[in-house]
A and B are shown apart, each in its own frame.
Chain A
């Protein structure tokens, strides 16, 4: 910085005004950038102080207790945490492989015109509001699950505890699949852009030495884009963790932990959406805010872990190059 100022002062006449503008701009950017951590810290503080009553009353048991009883004033976050993790897991298991495959098709295999049309359709999918996914999930997808998918799974995989119970259409599995639909366009769009950035020279040299399309994809395109793909996955993960309306419609909203994916469950976000409006009791409100705190910490850790992973991969990458 002092160097820059020296150069500026070396220019006769105009120097002072320029320094003023520079300083102004610098402070403006600093303040603007500071807004983000200040808001984050503020939210964290607010969540922590308002949930203190619940955390003090139930202690660490709050996080492992399955109870959620507004009558006896006994609350625990376990079923909500479980539901959040499981529904997100189902969504990621389905969406990640599919997104990568779609992106590879669009970049490597599809004729340019098809690629363009399908690409913009996928972007359109990302623009649909989540409540539309929810209503579609309840009115169209849940009956489809109840009549075709769940009876089929129950018949052939019913020996697994995962697929037992009456086929209701709504429940953890349906919520996970709807979530997969919702994060799919995000991950696909990012993967497509990342794969499209792979230098043509690299791919052409691959083909030049006689590699097949599969070998070029597997050994050049994917490794080159892996960092970007991971970034896309974490973006999708963040969205799946916090998704509210669509999940509320189809997950069944019950505070129970169940081995079966057909059974109803709930997520942190859906519990908040459902119960906040009419919660009048201090301990009830405090427990709900404690759920919010858990979600906040969850997403925070997802971000930190993703940043660490990406940094490590960058390091490995630069050594290779």
Chain B
């Protein structure tokens, strides 16, 4: 008798667990850069709709690998896949957020936004050709600053990262010498300097080492209150890194003619454009197995684009301009499909 009761209870428990499972759970994994925003969005969305979105921050490489293996519903990546790769693997790619990469410095007596660097000087510093902060080239750009006699130490990422990819992409675009000697990749052979792990590692090292210069995602510079520099952009204007200049970069890009949204937001035209920005991307399978599940996932991203902007800005990220969101929706309806007996069917809207 007792046994029977136990069995009944177990059965009831299993049923309950099964019902709880029936509540939609969408899994994603990938880049760590957008993780704070995705998890905040997911939390809010769960409160509103009871749809749970779970995002694991395992790095862009892992995100791409997992969506290819179909172990997740969507993958996150900081460096976009090229259109032909997307086609080969049957994936659809779209951007979600934009962030800026800023150069941070630790020079005695110089505060945030006080120093201006040009693309040429920045490249020469990272090539190790300009070795001291009182170099004439820096002084020429900053006639009002009192530059100390202090050796420059470069701090770069020691781990492979999307941030490095964006930063070296910019240097490759503005300097032929950089292009030939170093190049553009997630980790490169740095001509000089020390390496640190993660954005937080670079931020901490710059803070600790006098005379240091490094590059981090904008959020890490503001949270850690490390002085950043202004840069001279493609239009020849001095720009400050902030939400507005990142938005200007997003707006300056020609998304319409970028197949698979393959777009790098470095060295773009426009008076107010921050020259080193990058988007982070979501990858989904173009042929979905479960129509309802796919719809739920796209609904989540739709909600993010429409209502997530303020939450993202609190965390120092910028969402996509409306014009681009329209393009993304168009891509969803055209390329995200599921198969039934009569052929491929559209899921969105």
Please give me the residue from chain A that is nearest to B196 by CB atom.
A253
Are B189's CB and A139's CB within 8 A? no
A-side contacts of B188, CB under 8 Å: 69-71
Evaluate contact between B182 and A71: CB separation under 8 angstroms: yes
Contact between chains at A275 and B204 (CB < 8 Å)? no
Given the contacts A166-B153, A278-B160, A255 and B208 also touching, CB distance less than 8 Å: no
CB distance from B79 to the nearest CB of A (A): 10
Contact A70 B186 (CB under 8 A): yes
CB within 8 Å for A254 and B186 given contacts A142-B208, A170-B205, A280-B61: no
Give CA–CA (A138, B159) in the complex, Å: 17
Among B182, B189, B193, the residue within 8 A (CB) of A264 is: B193
The docked-state distance in angstroms from the alpha carbon of A279 to that of B190 is 17
Interface residues of A, dominant DSSP: loop
What separation, in Å, do the CA atoms of A168 and B189 have in the docked complex?
Answer: 20
B321: interface (CB < 8 Å): no
**Contact across chains for B153 and A278 when beta carbons are under 8 A apart:** no
B187 near A168 with CB under 8 A, answer no
**What bracket does the count of chain B residues touching chain A fall in?**
20 to 34
**Interface SS of chain B: helix, strand, loop or mixed?**
loop
- Of A139, A254, A270, A273, the most chain B CB neighbours within 10 A belong to A254
Inside 8 A of B158's CB, which chain A residues have their CB?
248, 253, 266, 270, 274-275
Within the complex, the shortest CB–CB distance from A157 to chain B, in Å, comes to 19
Question: How would residues 260 to 292 of chain A score, 1 for a CB under 8 Å from any chain B CB and 0 otherwise?
Answer: 000010100010011101111000000000000
A278 contacts B195, C-beta separation under 8 Å: no
B15: interface (CB < 8 Å): no
B64 / chain A contacts, CB cutoff of 8 Å:
280
Q: Is the CB of A254 within 8 A of B183?
A: no
B208 to chain A: which residues have CB within 8 Å? 138-139, 142-143, 146, 169-170
Known contacts A71-B182, A264-B195: A146-B210 contact under CB 8 Å:
yes
Say yes or no: B61 contacts A168, CB within 8 Å. Answer: no
Contact status of A277 and B194, CB under 8 A, knowing A138-B208, A146-B209: no
B272 on the interface (CB 8 Å rule)? no
Q: Does A277 contact B61, Cβ atoms closer than 8 Å? A: yes
A68 at the interface (CB under 8 A from B): yes
Please tell me if the beta carbons of B185 and A70 are within 8 angstroms of each other in the complex: yes
A248's partner among B182, B197, B210 (CB-CB below 8 A) is B197
Determine the distance from Cα of A254 to Cα of B195 in the docked complex, in whole angstroms.
6
B193 and A170: CB pair below 8 A?
Answer: no
Instruction: Please name 6 further chain A to chain B contacts, defined as beta carbons within 8 Å, in addition to the given A139-B204, A274-B197, sorted by A numbering.
Output: A70-B160, A71-B189, A166-B211, A278-B61, A278-B160, A278-B186
List, sorted by A's number, 25 A–B pairs whose CB atoms are closer than 8 Å: A67-B189, A69-B189, A71-B184, A71-B185, A142-B208, A142-B209, A168-B194, A170-B205, A170-B208, A170-B209, A171-B194, A252-B194, A254-B190, A254-B193, A255-B189, A264-B194, A266-B158, A270-B158, A275-B159, A277-B59, A277-B61, A277-B159, A278-B161, A278-B186, A280-B61
